[in-house]
A and B are shown apart, each in its own frame.
Chain A
Amino acid sequence: MKKYLALASGLLLLTLAFIGWMDSRRPTPIALTPTLTGQPEYCLTCHSDLPEISTSHPVKTFGCVICHGGERLALDANLAHSSMRGGVNPSDLSVVEASCGGSNCHSGDQAAGRDHIQRVMTSVQSTYAGAIANIRYTFGAQPDLKAYFGIATVTDEQTKTGITSLQAFDPSHESSPSIQKFGVNCLTCHLHAQPREGEAYARQTGCAACHATSKHTLSTAIPYTQCNACHNRGNYNLRTMTFEERADHPTTRLHDYYQPIAQFTQCEYTLDCVDCHTRTEAMGDGDIHVNQKSIEYAQCKTCHGTPTKLPRTQTLTDPNDIASTLAMLNPVTNLKLGDTILVTEKGEPLWNTRVLADGTYALIGKATRQYFTFRPVMGSGCTQSGEDQSSAYCHECHAVER
């Protein structure tokens, strides 16, 4: 008996020592109390190696949980991650209001330039309304090209230029097999779509699709490769209603660039998409548009003007102008009050341009930070008539063949 008692006591001591040893191997919990929430969170215990997501969202202020959700006190990976919003992508449009929204953040009022979520939700990049209408019209499911359906239901009662609502498109209600196949194969890469399975596609919906320029980085310096992830992934085969992934392996910027149009001028592949296309074109203007054409309009003449007309310009006088804010968020150029910049036909600032003293223009690449100078068409040898000024006409002379 005494033998067993001594043995059992020894085993107990061993067990306790083992517990102590296990505990000593546990990582030290790293607490962070973000100033915005005031509630401690322990995510950094494992994730201290992540880069700061952006200068506008410092981790000391925001922490992790305010955007990502999750169990802030759990040190078990499974439990901690189980309640994260949108998995690895809290900006997925199904959860974006809770993650990125809020009146102090990105769903505030239009006047303060904080209505991004409402604009994105109703934009054609989310609804895909034009393509759905087109396909349904082509296969006889609707008599006209009006948009009735979007990827998800959206409404906009106070529309100025668009339509008031779109219903969620449900391919199972369609009788044409082609439309059904279209619904299954061709609706996976729009901002409001269910992301496709797999880590590679997880960040291709919501805000992250454009702004997550690399892992755990949010930026407004969006290189063309980011747009390419969706716009240059491949082509639809309208006969079989399948998506054919791109199979080539381009090595130059020219060949890597957006492919559905075959002709490029030099600036179209040297610059990045966002150098010319504005935030309104990419993220919508808050109205539900029936197709891409009614929101996308930047053309050669936006910056170059026409033989008879110079492009619109604006001299900055208001320190709260949206141009200054945009320049501050992506400081590729030192924009000052008194600087004159180009603006689009609708008056949106092209804040990375400058009107130079000699009447020519400069543009600084938002992603590349390259400095370019260019001239207006007016005063050049261009003889194109003032009526025919869409880019297709410019390509006739200025395109580089691939």
Chain B
Amino acid sequence: MTQPSRRDFLKLLRDGFLWMSGALALGGLIRFLDFEPNPVPKTEFDLGPVEQFPLNSRTLFTDPPSIPIHTESGFSALSLVCTHLGCAVEQSADGFACPCHGSRFNVDGAVTHGPASKHLASLRIERTEENHLILHID
């Protein structure tokens, strides 16, 4: 009975080749779709000259949503992106409120009311040689 086994072997070979081809094609398809054609969004923002941020000032920025803060210990910034699902929070009487799902934060960014569970992120600020403030949002 060599004939049937030879047939089975051919079928096995064919199916093997086809499955492997399919796997290669699928891999190619996934790589094809996994491409970012648009420029990567900016992560550095020039906020302007240092003089615009006097000591003990808090300045509201909408792009990117943030508040640069100048204190005795230097410059820092609070992100105004809600830690729940990413809406921009708005200033309220006692801090910040998120218009999307009602999360509330105090002036230091700590959660005072859910559903958010994490503090507003603090962002890094850098001072350039030309005395401009650069905000990093990554």
Contact = CB atoms under 8 A, between A and B. Distances in A.
Interface of A: 2-3, 5-6, 9-10, 12-13, 16-17, 19-20, 33, 38-40
B21 A16 contact: yes
Contact of B18 (A3, A9, A33): A9
Contacts of A6: 10-11, 13-14, 17
12 contacts: A2-B7, A2-B10, A5-B14, A6-B10, A9-B13, A9-B14, A10-B13, A10-B17, A16-B24, A33-B39, A33-B40, A39-B39
A378 B99 CA distance: 82
A197 B130 CA distance: 46
A5 B17 CA distance: 10
A37 to B, nearest CB: 10
B107 interface: no
Interface of B is mostly: helix
Nearest to A1: B10
**Which among B17, B20, B39 has the greatest number of chain A C-beta atoms within 10 A?**
B17
Contacts, number: 41
B87 interface: no
A40 B36 CA distance: 11
Given A20-B28, A33-B40, A40-B39, A13 B10 contact: no
B11 A2 contact: yes
Contacts of B28: 16, 19-20
Interface in B1-47: 7, 10-11, 13-14, 17-18, 20-21, 24-25, 27-28, 39-40
B25 A16 contact: yes
Interface residues of B, number: 15
B39 A9 contact: no
6 closest A-B pairs by CB: A9-B17, A6-B14, A16-B24, A6-B13, A6-B10, A13-B17
Contacts of B13: 6, 9-10
Contacts of A40: 39
A3 B11 CA distance: 9
A39 B39 CA distance: 7
Interface in B84-106: none
B30 to A, nearest CB: 13
A15 to B, nearest CB: 9
Contacts of A16: 21, 24-25, 28
A272 to B, nearest CB: 32
Q: Which of A10, A20, A39 counts the most B-chain CB atoms under 10 A from its CB?
A: A10
A19 B29 CA distance: 13
A2 B20 contact: no
Contacts of A17: 24
Contacts of A38: 39
Contacts of B20: 13
Nearest to B17: A9
A168 B116 CA distance: 73
B17 A12 contact: yes
Interface centre among B13, B27, B28 (most CB of A within 10 A): B13
A40 B39 CA distance: 6
